Structure 1
Amino acid sequence: MKALRRLSIAVPALLLIASLIGVYLTRSSMANLPFLGGAKGRPGSRPSSDLVDQRPWQTIEALAPLAVSAEEKRRAREAQRIADHEVDQAFAQALREASLAPPTLTGAALALQQRVTNLQAVVKEDQAKVNTLTAAAKDVNAPGTDDLDIAKAQLQLDADELDDSTEDLARVSGDKRGQIQQELTAREAVMKKFDEQNDPANAAPSAVQSAKRYGTLAGRISALFDQRTRMDSIEQAQAQADADAASLSAQHADLEKRLSSAGTANAQDTEAKSRVVRMAQMHALAQIHSILDDRVQAQKQLSTVYGQWYEQVKRQRGIVLHLILQSVAFIAFLLLCASLISAAIRKLLDRLPLDRRNLITLRTIATLAVQIITILFVLLVIFGAPSQLPTILGIATAGITVVFQGFILAFFGWFILMGKNGIRVGDWVEINGVGGEVVEIGLFRTALLETGNWTDKGHPTGRRVSFMNSFAISGQYFNFSTLGQWLWDEIRVTLPSTPHTYQVIEAIHKTLTQETAGDMKQAESEWQRATQQQGLSQFRAQPTVDLRPAASGVEVVVRYVTRAGDRFATRNRLYQTVLDLLEKSEEEAPALNEGKK
């Protein structure tokens, strides 16, 4: 048994420890920001498959749905605008940097370049032919449109071949402009869809209204934890923006050095052609420098917006904490009121002139009622009113029915006891093997003054016995005070073994039959009337004599019918009759013996 108890404690404990370890090991799966899944999980990293850093937009795209109040949504929309602008500038910078230093073509790349040039010329010719045929097709006297359809098909084939060759050239030569352009096209499609789905007209509640929606203590505590998680996410997004601003600032400084060195070289260059190329490069670097300035400012603005958003959530956290303290204060008020009401009830009951046992009972009931009501109010403060009220009421009713089924049976048992075949105060009854006189019939309980079994009627034990009225439904009871009140009683007499013993027994039987003749006839009459109404067999009430051998002679047991209320008087009278009969038989016995001699 001890081993089983230890096992019942050890198994849940091990399961709890294993679950906590698993939760800790899988904690990273709850990350809801894209930059949290980057390399080494730190700000400043980007997915390796993207040529252009789009993390500012990806971050705010993940954070924006977390905004709850109107103030937060304004911060989120401002961050979306800045992040969108910053990513656009990143694409512009990437395209200018890719165009700044075109790759040197050799070998297969040079052949692909020549093929692309030729295909571009072919596509240009196909387009011109399609334009000519399209213009000619508008003439009513022109032939059919078969030539136009063929020209369009040829244009489509040549254009597809040109696209494939361009991609092959970019892959062989290392030119990233094509891939950057594809990423830009995909981003524009995403942004178009985002603009269609984002409806700024949807107004959100203010910070106070948003916090007051949590009307229960449990909801406010949950909101507090949600705000803590949101603050952590915003703080990490701000750290990412600061890291990106620092990285862009470093690129900006390097670019300034390149511009300074390029300007010096351009001033020293005397060859016109070389100078034109260097000036073009300086112009491109100047454009990239301007873009970097814009990106650095955008990242700083984004960091500022995230900081404002963080402060806004922090203020909302203060509001929710204030509401939590209000709920706790109200719970403390309820507990204080319960204590004061309980103390007042105790003092009031102590002044009443009641029995000590009744006083303790009333005090317990009153205290329990106050505690139950207080617990209900506290639960309402913590969890609020149930939303599925019909379902909860049904479950509660079923539970109450199971728990209080004894009281329910007792309540309906009271109606049975009050019926025609029930019991009344003063009746002599036997319930569950306990006999006594009914002294109280309550709505739930019946009280008896115990008199032992039915043979001890009239000699109470002094004990009060209470029964739940459910015995009227699920049990059985005997009522000896109903109409007629007839029962079988008996007397026992031990006679010595003599030649005249059977004569004495016959005399006793005859005498007792005469003594109980009136009760016998009345009992038979009532029984026969009752059995005739029910169609049952007839009952007889004649006295019976049973003989049993005993150590000192013969034990005579005479059973007879008598009324329940007259049982003791009838028994005493019959015993007196038997004693007189025995005494008379003893006096007559010597005379009979002398006559025989």
Structure 2
Amino acid sequence: MEYLPFLQAKKGNWTGEYVSHGIVDQRPWQTAATLAGMAQSAEERELAREAERLADHEVDQAFSQSLRQASLVKPQLNGRALALQQRVTELQATVKGDQARIAALTGSSGAKSGSTESKDTDLEVAKAQLGLDQNELADSIEDLSRESGDPRVKLQQELAARQAAVKKYYDSASKDEGQTAVSSAEQYKTLAQQAFAWWSHRKRSQLISQAKQLALADVAALTDDQARMKAEASQIAANVSATAALMPSSERVEQLQRLAAQQNIQNILNDRLGAQQQLVALYERWGKQVEIQNKIVIHLMLQSLAVIAAICVLTILAGWFVQVALERMFHERRQKQTLKTVLNLSTQLVGLLLVLLVIFGVPRQMPTILGLATAGLTLVFQDFILAFCGWFVLMGPNGIRVHDWVEIDGVGGEVVQLGLFRTWLLETGNWTANGHPTGRKVSFLNGYAIRGKYFNFSTVGQWMWDEININIPSETSVHPLIEKIYEASVQATEADAKMAQEEWKRVTHEEGSPQFSAMPSVNLRPAGSGVDVVVRYITRAGVRLETRNHLFETVIDLMRELNPRSGH
């Protein structure tokens, strides 16, 4: 309250001292009007209306007191002020003459029927002259007030401005009675709203307490003014009694009039003092009403906190129940641990969501929130969305199936499981190695089918290129051996090569001979102890090891035939 602009000015005393916001102190009304705008319940608004009525009456009486006090002051006129006083007296006489002339013209025109046009014209001219003289009189009175220091004109202007502002305030004030304290508290559904209401009640209680202190200060000031006015009235009465025989009659009449005016001012002070005392009592009641409403809100906050505590306890109990149920239903450790983690996280998220609903309630901008949440979830789960879409690609004619031999992101192996989101491979290493499983089960999100690449080595026959490496000592005849090895490779893989060519032909939809051949090839590579012979051939994935062993046996037999003394 101490930061409100209208409370920064110092209160004027009973003599009509000017303050920064006018001659008359209007803080009681401004304080009551400010607090009335903060009233919430029906009980508060009723108290606010009563405070406005009392403050309005108190300020009106303050204006009346100031006007009476100003009328007691007899300014000393000299110079220009004396000339203005004479001008005012002349204009007052002129205005009275204009009024008498208008009355005469009005009476004569009403007494005689069928008045002439000239008389009507004279009446209009007289009225216009009266208006001009009255305006000049008002301007002269204002100039005289300014020159002589008479505050009555300023008081009248300030009073008119106040009456206009008060009328505008009442015209724009809401006529809604509002709900009772208990009913209005029902609108605080969430903990956040209840905390905001508690803070609002607390601040309003402080403002009402400060308004009460201001009213008490006004009561003290008015009490001092009342005592001073009584002393002055007693002094005037004593002077009149003591000098009644010696005082001229005109001066005695003036003193008696002044004494009567002082008594009227005392009556006004008594009225103002009573109004301020009623304001103090009313602010006291208002503060107690706000405390009651604050207790209701605190009760609601405790209920919300109890609900949050219950949600937390239920979440903990649900997690414990899930663990007990999983211990009884599942015995495999990894599966049990996975389910336990997922279910615990789910129960905690549900509990957190319920707590947030208790604190903030259901969001009002649900479409916007859903849109933002959807965009956020899409960004977070974009890999899972691509994986789900990639599953449809893998289910197509050019996809992969369980038991296919594939290579994904440089990892080769046999497909052991194909789910909606993931593909699991039993790793077997690269295709030129021995092909034995490594014992590792590798998982890939199915998004590789859309934004990556994969190799499927499993056509209808699961054809693949394989190779063997043979070291031939330097003393062995290389060329005859190579020819025999080539012939043996062709004989061993001839059937598979023809089948592979036919299948590749169907896959590529080519007429005639395909552009590539499935016939084996033999390559030579120099080695330190002789020559390395690399035999590359086509075979089926399922019989790759059998074909390789058969070729090794054939090569060993050929080497024995060509070099029987080697003992190999």
Q: TM-score, normalised to structure 2's length?
A: 0.91
Does 2:345 correspond to 1:363?
A: no
Q: How far 1:308 moved relative to its partner?
A: 0.6
**2:29 maps to which residue?**
57
State the Cα deviation string for residues 497-517 of structure 1 (Å, max 9, x = none).
458422222222223223222
Shift of 1:116: 0.7
The range that moved more, 63-72 or 260-269, is: 260-269
Paired amino acid for 1:561: I
Q: Quick one: distance in 1 between partners of 2:489 and 2:26?
A: 119
> What's the secondary structure of 2:189's corresponding residue?
coil
Instruction: Give the direction of change, closer, same or farther, for the CA distance of 1:213–1:32 in structure 2 (3 Å limit).
Output: farther
The one of 355, 379, 386 aligned to 1:378:
355
Q: 1:223: Cα distance to partner?
A: 1.0
Q: How far apart, CA to CA, are the structure 2 residues paired with 1:499 and 1:482?
A: 40
* Aligned residue in 2 for 1:93: 65
- The whole-number CA distance in structure 2 between the counterparts of 1:180 and 1:537 is 115
Provide the rounded CA distance (Å) in 1 between the counterparts of 2:119 and 2:255.
56
In structure 1, which of residues 495, 511, 536 is the aligned counterpart of residue 488 of structure 2?
Answer: 511
Query: Closer, same or farther in 2 for the Cα pair 1:457/1:398, shift >3 Å?
Result: farther
Matching residue within 214, 217, 234 for 2:208: 234
Deviation at 1:121?
A: 2.0
Q: Does 2:432 match 1:455? A: yes
**Equivalent AA in structure 1 for residue 33 of structure 2:** E
Q: Is the 8 A contact 1:527 1:539 kept in 2?
A: no
Q: Which amino acid aligns with 1:184?
A: L
Q: Is 1:33–1:62's contact at 8 Å kept on the other side of the alignment?
A: no
SS at match of 1:115: helix
The C-alpha deviation readout for 1:497-549, integer Å capped at 9, x for no partner, is: 45842222222222322322222222222222322359996221122222222
Residue matched to 1:20: none
After superposition, residues 237-252 of structure 1 pair within 5 angstroms as: 237-252=211-226
Verify the 8 A CA contact 1:33 1:59 in the aligned structure 2. Answer: no
Count matched residues: 555
User: Which of 446, 456, 459 is the matching residue for 1:469?
Assistant: 446
The alignment status of 1:76 with 2:48, answered yes or no, reads: yes
**1-side partners of 2:21 and 2:333: how far apart?**
86
Matched, 1:225 2:196: no
Q: Which residue of 2 aligns with 1:25?
A: none
**Match in the other structure for 1:409:** 386
Asked if the contact 1:488–1:559 (Cα under 8 Å) also holds between the matched residues in 2, the reply is yes
**For residues 130 and 453 of structure 1, what CA distance do their matches in structure 2 show?**
125
**TM-fit CA distance, 1:96:** 0.8
**Any conservation in 1 of the 2:429–2:435 contact (CA below 8 Å)?**
no
* C-alpha separation in 2, matches of 1:345 and 1:536: 65
For residues 250-294 of structure 1, the C-alpha deviation after alignment (integer angstroms, 9 at most, x for no partner) is: 111111112222222222212433322221111111100100110
Structure 1 residues 345 and 515, CA gap change in structure 2 (3 angstroms): closer
Q: In the alignment, does 2:169 pair up with 1:194?
A: yes
| CA distance in 1: counterparts of 2:526 and 2:339, whole angstroms | 60
Deviates more, 1:68-77 or 1:549-558: 549-558
User: Counterpart of 2:26 in structure 1: which amino acid?
Assistant: Q
Residue 249 of structure 1: how far off its partner (Å): 0.8
Q: 1:199 & 1:336 partners in 2: Cα distance?
A: 47
Q: Matched residues in 2 for 1:170 and 1:564: separation? A: 119
Q: Name the SS for the 2:37 alignment partner.
A: helix
What is the distance in 2 between the residues matched to 1:297 and 1:568? 115
Contact 2:322 2:343 in 1 (8 A): yes
CA change 1:521–1:536 in 2 (3 A) is closer
Separation in 1 of the partners of 2:481 and 2:119?
A: 149
1:434 aligns with 2:418: no
Please tell me whether residue 204 in structure 1 is matched to residue 175 in structure 2.
Answer: no
Deviates more, 1:423-432 or 1:571-580: 423-432
For residues 486-525 of structure 1, the aligned pairs below 5 Å read: 486-497=463-474, 500-525=477-502
8 Å contact kept, 2:10–2:19 = yes
Contact 1:238 1:303 in 2 (8 A): yes
Q: Quickly say closer, same or farther: Cα 1:588–1:329, change in 2 above 3 A.
A: closer
Conserved 8 A contact 1:46-1:55: no
The structural deviation recorded for 1:452 is 1.9
Deviations 1:469-495 (A, max 9, x none): 222222222222221321111122222
Cα separation, partners in 2 of 1:424 and 1:532, compared to 1, 3 Å: closer
2-side partners of 1:424 and 1:86: how far apart?
A: 94
Paired with 2:357 and 2:476, the residues of 1 have a C-alpha distance of: 92
> Which residue of structure 1 lines up, in the alignment, with residue 133 of structure 2?
158
Residue pair 1:34, 1:62 contacting (<8 A) in 2 also: no
1:440 corresponds to which letter in structure 2? Answer: Q
- Name the % identity: 51
Q: Does 1:263 align with 2:240?
A: no
Deviates more, 1:573-582 or 1:502-511: 502-511
Deviation for aligned residue 1:563: 1.4
2:515 is paired with a residue of what secondary structure? coil
Give the equivalent residue in structure 2 for 1:180. Answer: 155
CA distance in 2, matches of 1:377, 1:199: 38
Residue of structure 1 equivalent to 2:14: none
Give the Å deviation of 1:146.
Answer: 6.2
Q: Report the AA paired with residue 554 of structure 2.
A: T
CA positional deviation for 1:361: 1.4
Q: Note if contact 1:38-1:46 (Cα within 8 Å) is conserved in structure 2.
A: no
Confirm or deny that 1:332 pairs with 2:346: no
* Whole-angstrom CA distance in 1 between matches of 2:184 and 2:517: 89
Aligned mates of 1:294, 1:574 — CA distance in 2: 127
Given that 1:546 and 1:556 are in contact with CA atoms closer than 8 Å, whether structure 2 keeps it comes out as: yes
Matches of 2:224 and 2:292 in 1, distance apart? 35
> Aligned partners of 1:536 and 1:356: how far apart in 2?
57
- 1:35-54, Cα deviation, whole Å (9 max, x unpaired): 2x2349xxxx9942411111
Query: What residue ranges of structure 1 are gaps of 5+ in the alignment?
Result: 1-27, 590-597
Conserved 8 A contact 2:476-2:562: no
The question of whether the paired residues in 2 share the 8 Å contact of 1:33 and 1:233 is answered with no
Q: Please, which of 397, 402, 413 is the counterpart of residue 374 of structure 2?
A: 397
Aligned-residue offset at 1:82: 0.5
Look up the equivalent residue of 1:313 and give its one-letter code: V
Q: Normalized against structure 1, the TM-score is what?
A: 0.87
**Residue 54 of structure 2: SS of its match in structure 1?**
helix
Distance 1:564 1:144, change over 3 A: farther
Q: Name the SS for the 1:204 alignment partner.
A: coil
CA distance in 1, matches of 2:513, 2:46: 94
Aligned partner of residue 538 in structure 1, secondary structure:
coil
CA distance in 2 between partners of 1:196 and 1:399 (Å): 51
Give 1:123 shift.
2.8
Partner of 1:253: 227
Q: Secondary structure at the match of 1:565?
A: helix
Can you list the C-alpha shifts for 1:284-331, whole angstroms capped at 9, x where unaligned?
111001001100000000111111111100111111111111111111
One-letter code aligned to 1:171: R
User: Which digits, 9 at most, give the CA deviation of each residue in 1:395-419, with x for residues without a partner?
Assistant: 1111111111122222222233233
Match of 2:74 among 95, 102, 106: 102
- Contact residue 387 and residue 446 of structure 2 kept, 8 A: yes
Counterpart code for 1:113: Q
- Structure 1 457/582 Cα, relative in aligned 2: closer, same or farther at 3 Å? closer
2:265 is aligned, of 261, 279, 288, to 288
Aligned CA distance change for structure 1 residues 140 and 560 (closer, same or farther; 3 Å): farther
CA distance in 2, matches of 1:157, 1:329: 78
- Quote the Cα distance in structure 2 between the aligned partners of 1:214 and 1:525: 80
- Are the counterparts in 2 of residues 39 and 46 from structure 1 also a CA contact under 8 Å? no
Measure, in 2, the Cα distance between the counterparts of 1:366 and 1:155.
Answer: 96
Query: Is the CA contact (8 Å cut-off) linking 1:227 and 1:317 kept in structure 2?
Result: yes
